[in-house]
Amino acid sequence: MTPRTARATLVVVLIMISVLAGFGIRAFWPWSSDGRSPAPPSPVSTADALQAAFVSVAERVRPAVVHVGTVQVARSRRGPTAPGPLADDPFFKDFFDQFFGRRGPGAPEEFRQQGLGSGVIFDKRGYVLTNFHVIKGADAVLLRLSSKQEFRGKVVGTDPKTDLAVVRFDPNIELAVAAMGNSDALRVGEWAIAIGNPFGLDQTVTVGVISATGRSDVGIATYENFIQTDASINPGNSGGPLVNLRGEVVGINTAIVAAGQGIGFAIPANMVKRVIGQLLERGKVTRGWIGISVQPLTQELAQSLGLKDTQGAVVARVYPEGPAAGAGIAQNDVIVGFEGTAVDDYSHLQRLTADAEVGKTVSVDIMRRGDRRTVKLKIAEAPDAAGPAVR
């Protein structure tokens, strides 16, 4: 190759490198139509955008959050007692006289216990979602909207096993309604916004992240599949919504860990939707039942049963004449699959069974002395006395 040819080749290579470099930069950096590159976003503009998102969500969802007040009346066993400060609470002004009548001389002495919580409007007809423990035992329910208007609520249906309840009032205004999101799509680390009335402080907004999903064995409800968040949740937040940055309700705040900070739990929206659908339709929740009680599959138990891992649920008891007994399931069988879904643990099996359609025939995969087999059984309706679908 001559010196002239070498120089020409070098020039062509340099031109090609420049062109390719230009395409590479364009692929990773936004260019304007005139070829000028805009300045990279500043930290200030990013913070402003995030702040605007939080403000937008709060403005959109807060009008759908209500203050839930309850009163429980009981006859005093110790003779005359003072009414106490509850009757003077501004939140309950005229509440007692309106709903219970004025107490005159010689009237039976009663004391009134106050309960406060939160709720969220999910239907323009005046349907409010809250926790069962907020309205449990209430003789009267008072709802206060963000507009400060107050309405008497009527309990439509309750589900103690998930700690959910639906209350209805008759609105005389156009209501703001919160949209329900898809809690199955939640990822750990996403932003979470809790809205409610902690300690009676109306319309409080706190911010955190989704700390975990699928929490069970918390000891709060029979059917547990909680979202864990570090958004501040305090007494009075119960029944209020946990919201994502799109303004969708992804959970209903229900409990805190009193011994620690930054640990709150919410019932996932997808579980909520299944429950309220049945409460509105028939006033109660019907669940599937297969007639067994189960226990966790520990490492020691798995080894004794000849299993390689701890995935599944051990059958501790089979109820006579139940679906499982009819299908031949026996004590110490390990259920590892339910209608094509791998069973993670006993809590997972409990949820799968409860959500199964009553009357439907399903396949159940079990391990017995190291052998895997599949049986068929028909889902029965869980009797109230039986408690969970599997126990």
Which CATH number covers residue 359?
2.30.42.10
CA distance 297 to 176: 47
Q: Point out the domain boundary residue: 222, 249, 281.
A: 281
Q: Of 138, 168, 198, which residue constitutes the final position of a domain?
A: 168
Asked if residue 272 and residue 208 are part of one domain, the reply reads yes
What percent of the chain shows pLDDT beyond 90? 56
pLDDT given at position 116: 87
Q: Is the dihedral of CA 253, 255, 257, 260 positive or negative?
A: positive
Say if 149 falls within a structural domain: yes
The more confident residue out of 205 and 104 is: 205
Q: Which domain holds residue 275?
A: 179-281
Q: What's the CA gap between 65 and 375, in Å, rounded? A: 47
Is residue 255 located within the same domain as residue 301?
Answer: no
- Give the per-residue pLDDT at 155: 95
How much is the pLDDT for 323? 95
Cβ neighbours of residue 79 under 8 Å, at least 6 residues apart?
A: 109
Same domain? For 96 and 67 the reply is yes
118 belongs to the catalytic site: no
> Is 358 inside a domain boundary?
yes
Asked if 323 and 289 count as a contact pair (C-beta separation under 8 A), the reply is yes
Q: DSSP letter string over 53-90?
A: HHHHHHHHHGGGEEEEEEEEEEE-SSS-----GGGG-G
Coil vs helix vs strand at 363: strand
Is the domain of 277 the same as that of 313?
no
Determine the pLDDT at residue 35: 53
Query: Which tens digit of pLDDT belongs to each residue from 277-313?
Result: 999 988 889 899 999 999 999 999 988 888 889 999 9
CB of 334 within 8 A of CB of 365? no
Mean pLDDT across 253-270: 85
* Residue 133 among the catalytic residues: yes
Per-residue pLDDT of 22-77, as tens digits, reads 444 344 444 444 555 566 666 667 888 888 999 999 999 999 999 999 988 875 55
**Within a domain: residue 136?**
yes
| CA angle centred on 328, ends 323 and 329, rounded to 5° | 80
Among residues 67, 133, 183, 216, the one annotated as catalytic is 133
Q: Given a cut of 60, is residue 109 above it in pLDDT?
A: no
Asked whether residue 2 is domain-assigned, the answer is no
Mean pLDDT, range 247-259, rounded to an integer: 88
Known active-site residue 170: no
In the set 159, 163, 202, 365, the catalytic residue is 163
Q: Are residues 275 and 299 in the same domain?
A: no
Whether residue 189 is contained in a domain is answered as yes
Using the predicted structure, report yes or no on whether residue 388 has a pLDDT greater than 60.
no
**Do 300 and 245 share a structural domain?**
no
Residue 38: the pLDDT is 63
* For residues 346-353, average pLDDT: 90
For the chain, report the end-to-end CA distance as a whole number of angstroms: 86
Domain-located, residue 3: no
Q: Is the same domain home to 273 and 313?
A: no
**How many distinct structural domains can be found in the chain?**
3
Distance CA 367, CA 380 (A): 23
Per-residue CA distances from 338 to 145, 216, 243, 350 (Å): 44, 19, 32, 10
The verdict on 188 and 277 lying in the same domain is yes
Q: Which of 9-23, 232-246, 338-352 bottoms out in mean pLDDT, i.e. has the lowest? A: 9-23
CATH of the domain at 68: 2.40.10.10
Domain membership of residue 23 (yes or no) is no
Same domain, yes or no: 214 and 146: no
Of 149, 168, 187, the residue at which a domain comes to its end is 168
Percent of the chain residues past pLDDT 70, beyond the cut: 76
96 versus 335: which is more confidently predicted? 335
> 130 and 93 in one domain?
yes
Among residues 211, 238, 293, 347, the one annotated as catalytic is 238
For residue 162, pLDDT over 50 is answered with: yes
- Residues 258 and 319 grouped into a single domain: no
pLDDT tens, position by position, 116-141? 899 999 999 999 999 999 999 999 99
* 261 domain-assigned: yes
Residue predicted with more confidence, 53 or 84: 53
Q: Do 324 and 360 lie in a common domain?
A: yes
The pTM (predicted TM-score) of the whole model is: 0.75
